[in-house]
A and B are shown apart, each in its own frame.
Chain A
Amino acid sequence: MKVRLRLPALPEQAILDEQDQALITLIQTGLPLSATPYADLGRQLGMDESEVITRLKRLTDENIIKRFGVVVRHHELGYLANAMTVWNIPDEMVSELGSCMGQFEFVTLCYQRPRRLPDWPYNLFTMIHGQDRSDVLTNIQTLIERCGLEKIDHEVLFSTRRFKQRGAIYR
């Protein structure tokens, strides 16, 4: 398996300067829970508070930060089941059906990924959470009905054990 990753090229606006990168490195484990978290981050970076806030706003506007806020742990909050549900969608329909699936609140991830034939025919990955298995399966049925997926092959991969879960650390 010596195929290289060939990650998609970054969009133009996603080019980050050194201060952006330093800020991102510092906040990937979370904001300090202090009265003035942005000023505190700024002190460590040699920036003032308003610059930290301006940069975070820009990163959010540019969708480099997808979401800024409280990151909860589903399992601990009673959402005990999650299923990676994978779909084999004709290439020309991926964009339309992916956009449909990606807007449901119980879908926490909706990515197109490459097929790896013959082992792996699926090209759209959705992560679906629920309080238990039947809750997850009900949600999948809702997706099928609402997005018209009756003829699309799919598999439901429930997780049975969590070996590790934490936020991404980029360096």
Chain B
Amino acid sequence: MQSTHTDTTKLNKQQLGSLEKHLLNDFQHGFPLVSRPFQAIAEKLGTTEEMVIDTLAQLQQQGFVSRVGAVFRANSIGASTLAAMAVPEERLEEVAAMINDYSEVNHNYQREHHFNLWFVLTASDEQVLNAVLDDIEHCSGIPVMYLPMLEDYHIDLGFDLKWI
């Protein structure tokens, strides 16, 4: 997957009805941990369980929803780190594609800086993580600066979407 940030946004706000907006915004945290969670949501929104499930499936298919589920605290399960490289411009595509091929990589962005490639690695344990980092350095010939989380100061309540 590759997309530039100058793409026309895929969002056509007209196509998002009130139900879609509520599903996207109101259940980012505190999702019901009950036998029929979508029924519980349907009752709050005055619709049916089937409608909630179908709409969420559609939002997922359209790419607006990544998943319905858990966001884990970094390093409380498995091991992860942020990593950065200073890649010569002419090698950026090649190195980015090489990094994307690792299943341990879940985010990979170009950023405006001397360190221009930033990615997040997640693995079952630290040994696997270190092996992947070594491999990336070896295959690219470019040093990897790694920056594991030391402390998390963020209170994650999701993201308040402002429908403008």
Residues 100-120 of B, flagged 1 when their CB comes within 8 A of A and 0 if not, give 100101111111110100111
CB distance from A97 to the nearest CB of B (A): 9
Q: Is the CB of A171 within 8 A of B124?
A: yes
Q: Which residues on the A side are within 8 Å of B146 (C-beta)?
A: 1, 5
Q: Which residues of chain A from 1 to 40 have a CB within 8 Å of any chain B CB? A: 1, 4-8, 10-11, 14, 16, 21, 24, 27-31, 33-39
Q: Is the CB of A69 within 8 A of B150?
A: no
Q: Is the CB of B49 within 8 A of A77?
A: no
Q: Is the CB of A161 within 8 A of B66?
A: no
Q: Is B88 an interface residue (CB 8 A)?
A: no
Q: Is the CB of A169 within 8 A of B28?
A: no
Residue from the list A31, A49, A53 in contact with B68, Cβ < 8 A: A31
Residues 38-76 of B, flagged 1 when their CB comes within 8 A of A and 0 if not, give 110000000001000100110010111111111111111
Q: Is the CB of B109 within 8 A of A5?
A: no
CB distance from B115 to the nearest CB of A (A): 7
Select from chain B the residue with minimum beta-carbon distance to A129.
Answer: B159
Q: Is the CB of B115 within 8 A of A30?
A: no
Q: Is the CB of A66 within 8 A of B72?
A: yes
Report Cα–Cα, A66/B110, bound state, in Å: 27
Q: Is the CB of B64 within 8 A of A66?
A: no
CB distance from A13 to the nearest CB of B (A): 9
Q: Is A157 an interface residue (CB 8 A)?
A: yes
Report Cα–Cα, A133/B150, bound state, in Å: 29
Q: Chain B interface residue count: which class?
A: 35 or more
A4, A11, A107, A167: which has the most chain B beta carbons within 10 Å?
A167
Residues 106-148 of B, flagged 1 when their CB comes within 8 A of A and 0 if not, give 1111111101001110111010011000000100000111111
Given contacts A1-B145, A71-B69, contact A158 B111 (CB under 8 A): yes
Report Cα–Cα, A125/B81, bound state, in Å: 13
Q: Is the CB of A75 within 8 A of B107?
A: no
Q: Which residues on the B side are within 8 Å of A49 (C-beta)?
A: 35
CB distance from A99 to the nearest CB of B (A): 5
Report Cα–Cα, A98/B152, bound state, in Å: 8
Q: Which B residues have a C-beta under 8 Å from some C-beta of A?
A: 1-5, 9-11, 13, 23-24, 27-31, 33-39, 49, 53, 56-57, 60, 62-82, 84, 96-97, 99-100, 103, 105-113, 115, 118-120, 122-124, 126, 129-130, 137, 143-161, 164
Q: Which A residues have a C-beta under 8 Å from some C-beta of B?
A: 1, 4-8, 10-11, 14, 16, 21, 24, 27-31, 33-39, 49, 53, 56-57, 59-60, 63-81, 84, 94-95, 98-99, 101-103, 105, 107-114, 116, 119-120, 124-125, 129, 131, 155, 157-171
- Other contacts beyond A31-B68, A71-B71: 20, CB < 8 A: A5-B129, A7-B148, A30-B68, A38-B37, A39-B35, A64-B77, A66-B71, A70-B24, A70-B158, A77-B64, A105-B157, A107-B154, A111-B153, A114-B148, A116-B147, A129-B159, A157-B118, A158-B111, A164-B105, A170-B72
A-B contact pairs, 26 of them (CB 8 A): A10-B76, A33-B57, A35-B38, A36-B36, A53-B33, A66-B71, A68-B30, A69-B30, A69-B31, A70-B56, A72-B24, A72-B28, A76-B64, A77-B64, A102-B152, A111-B149, A112-B151, A113-B147, A160-B112, A163-B100, A163-B108, A164-B1, A164-B99, A164-B107, A166-B66, A169-B122
